[in-house]
């Protein structure tokens, strides 16, 4: 095999063993069939015609199968990217369906481009950017928004907005447009789906074995969809005013260059695309890394970035909206026996078959049923358990949860996520804003120096020895500054201040400027500033800066050197 072909064909395919083909095919078929209702629903949630849910499950899935990091992760349209798409494209909602769909693909393209660039820059570590509390709070808030947004399909009331208040006030405003039959269909479907999901141990397990019950539960939404289509045709629901999805355009998604409105419009979408890229990456890598560990495989975050990036980038060129790895579809994939990305390719075949074959078969399906499907599946994302355990185990993370959750409901998805992140970073700053700074003295006649409050040590009248026990950065430099000034006030006799830097791994610009200011302040009082035990990498950074070149004192290799040199004079 030539090296070019070798590079184009992924390792899993070159080493593919035919023995795994049957289980891969079965898993692919199962996932393909089961996720159809969801896919249609998420497209609607994103503000697109239902068929776009199938489009989003074709090109990105093929590309991810080729290039993604995970062997078993099933990517596709997910609830969070769908609602983020809807909320960021709200300003374009009245510009016509075609224009809107082009914007949704542009957004997917931008998300993909950002992910791909991040992968090339090896920013895989950024998956650790979001704390558990923030991500659970954000997803829970988004789930509530999604739930409320779907009420429009259950009531036929045109609900719109990007925050909870927006939704609820428009719901109230148009109350008179409530369509009773639509509501009845939606409520019954919702009740059945919730019962299927949360009461399955009583419903299915009374007749079936545990594993059959699991499959019955998974198949039920699809059966309900079929029943609804039959009822809708038989009872002429459409004629009675129930909104149905109508005929689905046949055929595959076509190559369509994303529409670039004007530079300013595209730039406005960029921060949103950045947040979406972050969410796509964090949620997908959480799925992929969990399954990689379960399967004893290595998870490569940078490859996940590249794979997701190219999946969304190419999806954006083929009428897809933004996709991510989904926990539930990946679970079904693995449970059904998927071993390699071949399963995902089979899923794509199912989607293509659906697109070609369904045509008008789905036309009578009421939107209320898609809404109910999403509402029933979204409840599980409201993560009260994490809030509870955060409250018991880490109050600061509980605060981040609440900030992200309330932020999403009050200010919308993007602002809510940013507020949650800010609170989680504020907690970090708070925790390290008061680092330990110890006044130390010499232990006996040794070269060891210890905290004067804990050990019986020798001190020197003209010397003040301070050990800084944490890296210095903007989040603690002012606190450390004040702590040092206070120690100098306590020991007014000391004319030489020695800062012991053995525990300092970084000194950022803010802290360097603080130390320079301290140096000048001391010089005015005819005192000198010295450093000891500066680590090599730190010295490499600060060695040629004004902090060292303008230092009134010296840099000593060890504290003992400093003390010997400064007491000898």
* Interactions with its own copies, residue window 43-102 (CB under 8 A): none
Least distance from its own copies to the Cβ atom of residue 121, Å: 11
User: Closest CB to its own copies among 172 and 212?
Assistant: 172
What CA–CA distances, in Å, run from 475 to 125, 392, 424, 480, 509? Answer: 21, 26, 13, 10, 11
DSSP states of 422-473: HHHHHHHHHHHSS--EEEEEEETTSS-EEETTTS-EE--TTEEEEEE-S-B-
- Structure tokens that stand for 136 in this block: 């659970």
Q: Of 127, 105, 160, give the one whose Cα is nearest residue 315.
A: 105
What is the number of residues in the chain?
569
Least distance from its own copies to the Cβ atom of residue 484, Å: 11
> No. of H helices and E strands in the chain?
27, 9
Which listed range, 79-87, 98-106, 160-168, 244-252, lies at the site for its own copies (CB under 8 A)?
A: 160-168
512 binds its own copies (CB under 8 A): yes
Least distance from its own copies to the Cβ atom of residue 397, Å: 4
Least distance from its own copies to the Cβ atom of residue 451, Å: 16
DSSP structural state of residue 527: -
Least distance from its own copies to the Cβ atom of residue 521, Å: 7
User: Closest CB to its own copies among 277 and 562?
Assistant: 277
Contact pick of 97, 240, 353, 509 for its own copies (by CB under 8 A): 509
Contact pick of 75, 84, 130, 229 for its own copies (by CB under 8 A): 130
Contact pick of 196, 328, 471, 559 for its own copies (by CB under 8 A): 471
Binding to its own copies, residues 436-465 (CB under 8 A) = none
Least distance from its own copies to the Cβ atom of residue 157, Å: 18
Residue 175 CA to residue 157 CA, distance in Å, equals: 7
Contact pick of 100, 147, 321, 411 for its own copies (by CB under 8 A): 411
Give residues with Cβ within 8 angstroms of 498, minimum separation 6: 463, 464, 465, 466, 530, 531, 532, 553, 556, 559, 562, 563, 566
* 462 φ/ψ angles, rounded to the nearest 5 degrees: -90, -5
Q: What is the dihedral of CA 536, 537, 538, 542, to 10 degrees?
A: 100
The residue count for binding its own copies (CB under 8 A) is: 72
User: Closest CB to its own copies among 362 and 547?
Assistant: 547
Which listed range, 53-61, 103-111, 221-229, 506-514, lies at the site for its own copies (CB under 8 A)?
A: 506-514
Least distance from its own copies to the Cβ atom of residue 136, Å: 9
Least distance from its own copies to the Cβ atom of residue 431, Å: 6
User: Closest CB to its own copies among 85 and 512?
Assistant: 512
Contact pick of 8, 9, 93, 165 for its own copies (by CB under 8 A): 165
238 binds its own copies (CB under 8 A): no
Q: Of 559, 442, 414, 446, give the one whose Cα is nearest residue 501.
A: 559
User: Closest CB to its own copies among 517 and 567?
Assistant: 517
Least distance from its own copies to the Cβ atom of residue 88, Å: 13
Least distance from its own copies to the Cβ atom of residue 516, Å: 10
429 binds its own copies (CB under 8 A): yes
DSSP structural state of residue 241: T
The answer to whether 84 touches 294, Cβ cutoff 8 Å, is no
Least distance from its own copies to the Cβ atom of residue 275, Å: 10
Residue 46 CA to residue 41 CA, distance in Å, equals: 9
Residue 418 CA to residue 424 CA, distance in Å, equals: 10
283 binds its own copies (CB under 8 A): no
545 binds its own copies (CB under 8 A): yes
- Which run of H or of E encompasses 555? strand 555-556
Which listed range, 58-66, 125-133, 195-203, 529-537, lies at the site for its own copies (CB under 8 A)?
A: 125-133
Tokens 């109910």 correspond to 372
User: Closest CB to its own copies among 512 and 532?
Assistant: 512
Give residues with Cβ within 8 angstroms of 115, minimum separation 6: 277, 280, 281, 305, 306, 308, 309, 312, 313
260 binds its own copies (CB under 8 A): no
Contact pick of 238, 510, 552, 558 for its own copies (by CB under 8 A): 510
Alpha carbon 259 to its chain's center: 26
Binding to its own copies, residues 379-398 (CB under 8 A) = 386, 389-390, 392-394, 396-398
What CA–CA distances, in Å, run from 4 to 7, 8, 9, 484? Answer: 5, 6, 9, 62
302 binds its own copies (CB under 8 A): no
């Amino acid at each position: 095999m030539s090296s070019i072909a070798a590079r184009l064909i992924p390792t899993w395919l070159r080493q593919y063993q035919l023995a795994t083909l049957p289980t891969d095919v079965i898993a692919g078929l199962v996932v393909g069939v089961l996720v159809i209702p969801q896919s249609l629903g998420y497209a609607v949630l994103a503000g697109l015609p239902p068929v776009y849910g199938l489009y989003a499950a074709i090109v990105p899935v093929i590309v991810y199968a080729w290039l993604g990091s995970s062997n078993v992760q099933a990517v596709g349209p997910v609830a969070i990217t769908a609602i983020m798409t809807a909320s960021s494209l709200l300003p374009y909602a009245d510009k016509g369906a075609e224009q809107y769909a082009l914007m949704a693909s542009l957004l997917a393209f931008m998300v993909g481009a950002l992910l791909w660039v991040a992968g090339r820059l090896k920013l895989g570590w950024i998956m650790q950017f979001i704390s558990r509390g923030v991500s659970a709070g954000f997803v829970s808030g988004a789930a509530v928004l999604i739930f409320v947004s779907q009420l429009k399909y259950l009531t036929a009331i045109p609900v719109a907005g990007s925050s909870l208040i927006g939704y609820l006030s428009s719901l109230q405003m148009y109350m008179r447009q409530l369509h009773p039959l639509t509501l009845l269909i939606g409520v019954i479907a919702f009740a059945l789906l919730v019962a299927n999901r949360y009461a399955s141990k009583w419903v299915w397990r009374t007749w079936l074995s545990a594993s059959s019950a699991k499959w019955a539960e998974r198949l039920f939404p699809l059966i309900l969809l079929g029943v609804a289509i039959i009822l809708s045709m038989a009872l002429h629901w459409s004629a009675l005013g129930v909104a149905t999805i109508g005929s689905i355009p046949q055929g595959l998604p076509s190559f369509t260059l994303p529409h670039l409105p004007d530079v300013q419009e595209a730039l406005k979408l960029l921060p949103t695309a950045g947040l979406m890229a972050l969410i796509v990456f964090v949620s997908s890598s959480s799925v992929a890394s969990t399954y990689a560990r379960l399967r004893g495989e290595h998870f490569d975050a940078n490859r996940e970035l590249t794979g997701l990036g190219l999946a969304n980038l190419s999806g954006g060129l083929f009428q897809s909206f933004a996709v991510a790895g989904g926990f539930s579809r990946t679970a079904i994939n693995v449970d059904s026996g998927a071993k390699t990305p071949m399963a995902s390719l089979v899923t794509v075949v199912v989607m293509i078959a659906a697109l070609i074959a369904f045509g008008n078969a789905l036309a009578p399906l009421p939107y209320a049923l898609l809404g109910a499907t999403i509402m029933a599946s979204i409840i599980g994302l409201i993560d009260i358990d994490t809030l509870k355990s955060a409250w018991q185990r880490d109050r600061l993370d509980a605060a981040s949860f609440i900030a992200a959750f309330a932020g999403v409901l009050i200010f919308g998805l993007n602002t809510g996520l940013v507020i949650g992140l800010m609170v989680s970073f504020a907690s970090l700053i708070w925790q390290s804003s008061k680092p330990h700074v110890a006044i130390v003295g010499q232990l006996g006649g040794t070269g060891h120096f210890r905290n004067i409050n804990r050990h019986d040590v020798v001190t020197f009248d003209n010397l003040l020895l301070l050990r800084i026990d944490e890296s210095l950065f903007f989040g603690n430099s002012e606190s450390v500054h004040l702590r040092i000034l206070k120690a100098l006030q306590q020991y007014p006799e000391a004319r030489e201040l020695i800062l012991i830097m053995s525990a300092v791994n970084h000194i950022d610009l803010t802290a360097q400027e603080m130390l320079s200011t301290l140096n000048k302040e001391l010089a005015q009082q005819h005192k000198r500033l010295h450093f000891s035990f500066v680590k090599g990498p730190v010295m490499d950074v600060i060695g040629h800066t004004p902090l060292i070149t303008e230092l009134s004192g010296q840099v000593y290799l060890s504290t003992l050197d400093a003390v010997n040199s400064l007491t000898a004079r």
